[in-house]
Amino acid sequence: MMILKIAWRNIKRNKKRSIVTVILSAICTALLIYSVSINDGAHHKMIRDSVEIYTGYIQIVGKEFNEYPDYDHLIFDEYNTIKSIENIREIDTYASRLETFALLSGKDESVGGKFVGIQPEKEKEIARFTKTMTQGRYLTKDDTSKVIIGEELAKKLDVKIGDTITYLSTAIDYSIAADIVTVVGIFKTNLFDFDENMVFANKPYVQELFYAENVASHIVIKPKNKKAVTKTVRMINKNIDNKKYDVLPWDETLPGVKQAVALDDAFSYIFYIIIVVVIFFVIMIFSLLNIYQRNKEIGIVKSLGTTPKQIFHMLFAESVILGFFSLLVGGVLGIGASVINMIYPYNLEKFAEAYSQWGITDPTIYPEITLKAILAGICAVIFMNLISILYPIWKINKLKPVDAIHGKGLS
């Protein structure tokens, strides 16, 4: 207790230096917390946007469907599969899809695209593309030969609302499936590939035309807690036949997104490390100077019989107190800046095209204060404030009291 008191007095005695030390490491801490928050915010947004636009957090597919996405690897008893997962508590909602490829023809033009049967009502709760209708309307559960298509595809086929499209594809029994459908809606997600390729129709209609009663290619699941994907996957795995189905979390269906985040993080860490190391040295200079100035004082204390251990404790306590203040100020600044930024987020409208390439559909970036951000701040403070004094302390403990009193022995 006395050591703390002495440490506190020492800090007060040297107000200017203490304040500069606190400011320096507080700014560094704030910067770390803020930039980790921004990074996390942007990354989580990237993940959310990529996952929620269509893919979904969890998919149930036929065994090995991801490796062999063909008609032999579909889910052939959709209704029973759904029944077996219906009562899992972790699941918020689910929707089944039937994805096929088709050659689509508009007025003159023909292109290939994905022709997908969806359950309009359920899909609305899972996939965000359903909310990006720019023209016409979304599908209803009673629609038959009606489709919604992406804006780029509409341009390519040169069709508008009310126009018809002919599609040609293969039914599940490998016979030819073809029909004329009416475009009732056009959507625009800003993801070029998606807007260029996708056609959605009501699943019962697709099932009928493709002889696919009780068949689905995907059952997409939205967990109640988006952070508990792994647990939900485990629960689903317990309830379904693992020999017939694969349960895939988003990081397996979209490995690129996960690794892109990791890569971007790795780059940011290099930068953080440089900043923290430089500030580490600056603070080390501070504590060295501090000790030089107190050379005499420490010599006297030593010759009075204070042990090196006690001196260590005293100096360490000073650091801890300064570190505590740095963390407090830095934390308030960093979190404050993030919170302000959450209320007034960055809008990178100008660069929308650039961001859409990375799967970010609406270029408003909100920081997110995560545990990681706060931990980064704490680690930085510990490193900067506590580790940086070890060398100066070691130095001072080597001093001979007599030399120290006479101001010798340190340079």
* Site of interaction with another protein (CB under 8 A): 17, 20, 24, 28, 31, 68-70, 101, 103, 108-114, 155-156, 170, 197, 255-263, 266-267, 270-271, 273-275, 277-279, 281-282, 284-286, 288-289, 292-293, 351, 353-354, 357-358, 395, 411
Q: How far apart are CA 269 and CA 27, in angstroms?
A: 17
Amino acid letter, residue 96: S
Q: How far apart are CA 130 and CA 363, in angstroms?
A: 19
Q: Of the two residues 166 and 239, which places its CB atom closer to another protein in the complex?
A: 166
CB proximity list for 262: less than 8 A, separation 6 or greater: none
CB of 20 vs another protein, minimal distance in Å = 7
Q: How far apart are CA 337 and CA 328, in angstroms?
A: 14
CB of 8 vs another protein, minimal distance in Å = 22
Q: What are the helix (H) ranges across 61-111? A: 78-85
Q: How far apart are CA 363 and CA 349, in angstroms?
A: 6
The answer to whether 360 and 45 are in contact (CB under 8 A) is: yes
Q: Of the two residues 34 and 94, which places its CB atom closer to another protein in the complex?
A: 34
Which pair of tokens denotes residue 324? 């505590």
Q: How far apart are CA 280 and CA 275, in angstroms?
A: 8
Which pair of tokens denotes residue 179? 């029909």
Q: How far apart are CA 129 and CA 408, in angstroms?
A: 75
CB of 236 vs another protein, minimal distance in Å = 24
Compute how many other C-beta atoms are within 10 angstroms of the C-beta atom of residue 235: 17
Q: Of the two residues 43 and 222, which places its CB atom closer to another protein in the complex?
A: 43
Q: How far apart are CA 39 and CA 264, in angstroms?
A: 9
CB of 369 vs another protein, minimal distance in Å = 21
CB of 2 vs another protein, minimal distance in Å = 29
The answer to whether 62 and 244 are in contact (CB under 8 A) is: yes
Q: Of the two residues 286 and 383, which places its CB atom closer to another protein in the complex?
A: 286
Q: Of the two residues 25 and 119, which places its CB atom closer to another protein in the complex?
A: 25
Q: Name the one residue in this structure whose structure tokens are 């440490």.
A: 7
Q: Of the two residues 4 and 168, which places its CB atom closer to another protein in the complex?
A: 168
Cα dist from 44 to 34, 165, 289, 341, 378, whole Å: 15, 38, 44, 16, 22
CB of 319 vs another protein, minimal distance in Å = 17
CB proximity list for 317: less than 8 A, separation 6 or greater: 3, 4, 6, 7
Q: Of the two residues 124 and 155, which places its CB atom closer to another protein in the complex?
A: 155
The answer to whether 167 and 179 are in contact (CB under 8 A) is: yes
Q: What are the helix (H) ranges across 344-410? A: 352-357, 371-381, 390-397, 401-405
Q: How far apart are CA 219 and CA 250, in angstroms?
A: 13
Q: What are the helix (H) ranges across 294-307? A: 295-303
Q: Of the two residues 126 and 337, which places its CB atom closer to another protein in the complex?
A: 337
CB of 395 vs another protein, minimal distance in Å = 8
CB of 216 vs another protein, minimal distance in Å = 18
**Residue 109 phi, psi (nearest 5):** -95, 150
Q: Of the two residues 232 and 319, which places its CB atom closer to another protein in the complex?
A: 319
CB of 350 vs another protein, minimal distance in Å = 8
Q: Of the two residues 258 and 372, which places its CB atom closer to another protein in the complex?
A: 258
CB of 68 vs another protein, minimal distance in Å = 6
CB of 160 vs another protein, minimal distance in Å = 15
Q: Of the two residues 92 and 264, which places its CB atom closer to another protein in the complex?
A: 264
Strand partners, 135: 186
Compute how many other C-beta atoms are within 10 angstroms of the C-beta atom of residue 153: 24
